[in-house]
Every structure is written in structure tokens, then in C-alpha cells.
Amino acid sequence: MLPQTDYVKASSVAHALDMLHQYGTGAAILAGGTDLIVDMRERRREPTMLVDISSVEELAEIDVGTGNIRIGAGVTVAGLAGSAIVQHQLPLVTEVTRHFADYLTRNRATIGGNLANASPGADLVPPLLALNASVVLATAQGERTVDLNDFLVGPRRTLLLWNELVRAIHIPTPVPRGQAYEKLGLRTGGAIAVVSCAVSMDQAGGECRRVRIGLGAVAPRAFRSSEAEQIMEGHMFSSDIAARAAEAAANSSQPISDVRGSAEYRHAMVRALVERALHAAYERSSEPQE
């Protein structure tokens, strides 16, 4: 059973921020609740006030801005999956939504919640890292924008302050055309990642450009393997170079052994998955512009 708590349904971002300010560290933001409610049942978190932002419309928008695509923090995973903008420009994100938990969870879980929860295995993080996303954080006083890479500090730790709300995610455009995602779980659906990896890249005449490799579930937080990226960057694509980059990615990971897999297996799977994703991303980057 859930611990008893107060509850307010926020009508706007300003209202939510006001509530956060008023209740301080006892308040928790409730969006989809797919992490928070589980934590509350397990008594890992016992907030005294739930601020429900699931009906705040200004958080549920996806639009194309100048130089970026802006995704409201309250957009659900199902919302991402159904968005034409995402399908067209961010196929990597569309792909990850198909591997994200199950239909019921996708209908509730939000992009902002997935980032703010900062699970090392959060499904959306490696793709968003590969897309160079930044996070817009709001307080009653104003907003700040931080790189997603900086936003994530450690397992379940972020830069988010007690009075701040994740408001939106910005993805800079133009987005690299070559995008690929690989996830390995204990089963194919409804499973937490044992290893996940996302790659985005451009190419010019076979030369890899803007290569970004995001890895999940193999370190205290999802991260980009700059070692692997540097091996690819500016070089002609080949199976050999992809294998070397995959090896570097594996060596840059620091997996642990847990109920989902041993460190050794995870290390080997980073290599296999990154190699596969690099090939797929490169092939897609070769596709003609629509």
C-alpha cells in the first residue's frame, strides 16, 4: 500500500513551481508515476505532497523551433511514439519507444520523468545523449538549460534542485541522419536493459562525421563513449574501424554484476551491440535525403 500523502493537481507550470516552492523537499512531482509510485510503495520515497503535472498542457507539446526540436517534459512515451515530428526527424527515439517497457507503462511514463529519475538503465537516455539533447529546467524565478550529459550526475542523481521542474528537452537540428538503437533485456518486451546503446552519425563520401555513441546500463549513469566516438570521427567507415570502436566502447564501460547479468557478459554485449549499431547507423546515413 502507498504511504498517505497530500495531493494537488497542478493547472500550469507556474502552479506546479509554486507548489514545489511552498512544500519544499517534502514535495514530489508526479507525472506518469511509473517510477515514483513504485518507490513510494517500497518506501524508498515518502513525499508529503504529490504535485501532479499530468494535466499541464504546456508540458505536453512537441514542436520544431529554430535550430532545435523541443519536446515538453510531460510528453508520454506513447506520445513520442505517435508524433509525426519524432517519426520523421528522430527515428532513433521512435525506435526506443518500441522497446520501452510495455504499452500500459508507455501510456503513462513521460520523457521528463525518465530523465529526472536518472536510472542507469533509463531507456530514453542513450538515444537523447546520442542526439546531443539538453534539458530545460524551470523555477519560479526563471529557466536554465543544461546539457543532458551534465544533467546526469550518478545513479538516481541529477542537477535538478528541489524547487526545479524539468520543463522540456531540446534536440539541436539538423539531426544526424544515421541513427540506430540496440537494446538487450532479459526478454524482448517489458524488460529493463541489460545493455542499451544508441548511435547517431552523418557521413560525407564514406567518412564518418558527428559520431555519437550513447550507452545505458553499463555504468553508474548512461554516458557517451568519447573514446569510441574519436575512433570513428573523421575516418572512412569500415568493418574494422567499427570493431575497434566497439571494443573501445566496451572498455569505456564500467558494468556491474547484478540480477540481470554479469559484468563480463555486459562488457561483451556492449561490443556486440555497438558494432551492430554502428553498421546500421552508417547504412542509414547513406540513405538519400528525403
Partner 1 sequence: MVPEQQQLHSIGQATWRRDGQAKVTGAEEYVSDITLPRMWHARVLRSPYAHARIVHVDTSYAEALGAVCLTHADIPKIRYNERIVSTPPHLYRDRYVLADKARHVGEAIAAVAAPTEAAAEQALRALRVEYEVLETITDPEVAMWDGTEPIYTNVQLGDQELSIEHNIAVQRTIELGDIEHGFANSAVILEREFATSRIYHAQMETKGVVCRPESDGGITVWPTAQSIHNVRQLLGEIYSLPLHKINVKRVPIGGTFGSSIQMNSVIPICVGLTLKSGKTIKLVTTREEDMYDHVRYPSRIRLKLGATKDGLLTAGHMHALSDIGAHNTQAFAFLSVLSGWWASLYKLPAMKFEGKAVYTNKTPSCAMQGFGNPQATFAVESLMDDLADALGIDPVEFRLRNYVGLGGTFWGQGPSVQSIVLSDGVPELLEKGMEKIGWPGRPVSGSQTGRYRRGIGMARGFHTSGAGAPKPGEVIDYSGAFIKVNEDGTVDVVHALMDHGGGTLDAIAKIVAEELGIPSDRIGISPADTLTTVYDVVTHATRGVYAGGGAAHKAARKVKAILLDYASRVLGIETNALVIEPDETLGQGVIYCPSFPERRITVGALAKLCQTNSWGSIAAVESLRQVNCPPAYVAYFVEVEVDTETGSVRTVRAVIGSDCGTVVNPDLAVGQLEGGLSKGLGYALVEDNSWEQESGRLLSKGFWVDGKTPAMSESPLLEDIDTFFADSYEPSGPFGAKGIGEAATNPCAAAYGNALYNALGIRFTELPITPERIVASMVAAESGATKAVLV
Residues 205 and 207: their CA atoms lie apart, in Å, by: 6
Pick the closer one to partner 1 by CB: 38 or 236.
38
Partners of 215 in the beta sheet?
A: 197, 223
Per rule CB under 8 A, is residue 204 in the interface with partner 1? no
Q: How many binding residues for partner 1 (CB under 8 A)?
A: 22
- Spatial strand order of the sheet with 143-147 comes to 62-64, 68-72, 165-172, 134-138, 143-147
Q: Is 184 in the site for partner 1 (CB under 8 A)?
A: yes
CB of 199 to partner 1, least distance (A): 16
Q: Which of 84, 142, 188, 204 binds partner 1 (CB under 8 A)?
A: 188
77 binds partner 1 (CB under 8 A): no
Q: Toward partner 1, which CB reaches closer, 4 or 289?
A: 4
Q: Is 289 exposed, middle or buried (0-12, 13-18, 19+ CB in 10 A)?
A: exposed
- Choose which of 66, 67, 187, 287 interacts with partner 1 (CB under 8 A): 187
Among 9, 21, 276, 279, binds partner 1 (CB under 8 A): 276
Choices 47-55, 67-75, 164-172, 263-271; region in contact with partner 1 by CB under 8 A? 263-271
Sheet holding 223-224, edge to edge: 178-185, 193-204, 207-216, 223-224
Which among 24-32, 145-153, 189-197, 221-229 is the span making contact with partner 1, rule CB under 8 A? 189-197
Q: Cα separation of 29 and 8, whole Å? A: 10
Query: Any contact of residue 260 with partner 1 (CB under 8 A)?
Result: yes
d(C-alpha 32, C-alpha 274), whole Å: 31
Interaction between residue 245 and partner 1 (CB under 8 A): no
Q: Is 269 in the site for partner 1 (CB under 8 A)?
A: yes
**Cβ 88 to partner 1, closest distance in Å?**
27
Judged by CB under 8 A, which of 140, 243, 263, 272 binds partner 1?
272
Stretch that binds partner 1, among 45-53, 182-190, 197-205, 280-288 (CB under 8 A): 182-190
Chain contacts with partner 1 (rule: CB under 8 A): 1, 4, 184, 186-192, 258-262, 264-265, 268-269, 272-273, 276
